[in-house]
A and B are shown apart, each in its own frame.
Chain A
Amino acid sequence: MAESRVAFDLQIPSDVEYIEGVVELARQRCRELKLSPTKCSLNVPVALSEALSNAILRGNDSTGGKHVRIRAIVSDTDLVFEVVDDGPGFDLDECTQDCTLPENISREEGRGLFLMKRLMDRVESFRNKGNVVRLTLHRE
């Protein structure tokens, strides 16, 4: 079984102003791990930004005083981000829209989960001391 280590473990106030700082930290870790430039500058920033904004705006319902926890875990093969909020959770497949369908393409919303799934190798949502969204990206 591949060994894994925690690259960072943070708790931020439930406020979208904190997203950019967390994403920048994640990008630094990606560069240190020598992930491809596209993974460092597109896949991770956009997918993680989506997971964080979902946690803050939907999971925690923009409620002040709440927090979001973010853990980055590295193994020989994968980089995994876990984003935990206080919300009731959601059905990932049920909530994901195909924003490329003609009837959806000019909608203003509904691209977040779609992008997470397209930019990560695996996206999971489950409950474990809060609602967890786990993003997995293969390092190679």
Chain B
Amino acid sequence: MSFSIKKQGEVVVVDVEGQLIVGNRQELKQKVLDELEKGEKKFLIDFSQTGYIDSSGLGVLVSLSKKIREQGGELRLANLNDDLQTLFELTKLDTLFQISDTRERALESF
């Protein structure tokens, strides 16, 4: 499992490779907060290479969304597979996040 960060235009894109779970959620949180600290405002998390997410991982996404909004920024999500889409629907987090089918659509939406 790992997280890679790169900039596409004005958007910081984070790829989550593997699982987003209790054992690694802090690493994702810190990486995004470091970028926020540098003044970045637009964030996209791409789940195309993600296996499963547990409740701690979902909690970190909620936490980051709040912190980014507090700084006047936006967090969007892309590429949820069917299982992850089900997870977001079960928890109604699909109503809290702006979710795009593809990275390209997500980038265009900012």
Residues of A that sit less than 8 Å from B by CB: 16-17, 19-20, 38, 41-42, 45-46, 49-50, 53, 57, 99-100, 105-112, 114-115, 118-119
- Residues on A with C-beta less than 8 A from B51 are 41, 45
| B55 and A42 within 8 A (CB) | no
| A107 and B87 within 8 A (CB) | no
- Residues on A with C-beta less than 8 A from B22 are 16, 19, 49, 53, 57
Bound form: Cα–Cα A115–B90 in Å: 8
- With A46-B52, A107-B62: A20-B91 Cβ-Cβ less than 8 Å: no
A-contact bits for B23-61, CB 8 A (1 contact / 0 none): 100000000000000000000000000011111101110
Bound form: Cα–Cα A106–B21 in Å: 18
- Residues on A with C-beta less than 8 A from B52 are 41-42, 45-46, 49
- Residues on A with C-beta less than 8 A from B96 are 105-106
- With A19-B21, A19-B22: A49-B54 Cβ-Cβ less than 8 Å: yes
- Residues on A with C-beta less than 8 A from B56 are 53, 112
Bound form: Cα–Cα A38–B87 in Å: 11
Nearest B residue to A109, CB-CB: B59
Jot down 23 A-B pairs with beta carbons below 8 A, ordered by A. A16-B22, A17-B23, A20-B19, A38-B82, A41-B51, A42-B52, A53-B21, A53-B22, A53-B54, A53-B56, A57-B22, A99-B92, A105-B92, A106-B62, A109-B59, A111-B58, A111-B59, A111-B91, A112-B55, A112-B56, A114-B55, A115-B91, A119-B90
Nearest A residue to B53, CB-CB: A46
Residues of B that sit less than 8 Å from A by CB: 1, 19, 21-23, 51-56, 58-60, 62-63, 66, 82-83, 86-87, 90-93, 95-96
Known: A49-B21, A105-B93, A109-B59; 19 extra A-B contacts, CB below 8 A, are: A16-B21, A19-B21, A19-B22, A20-B1, A20-B21, A20-B23, A41-B51, A42-B86, A45-B19, A45-B51, A50-B54, A53-B56, A99-B92, A100-B91, A106-B62, A106-B66, A111-B55, A111-B59, A115-B54
| A114 and B54 within 8 A (CB) | no
**How many whole Å from A39's CB to the nearest CB in chain B?**
10
Partner of A46, one of B1, B23, B66, B87: B87
Bound form: Cα–Cα A45–B55 in Å: 12
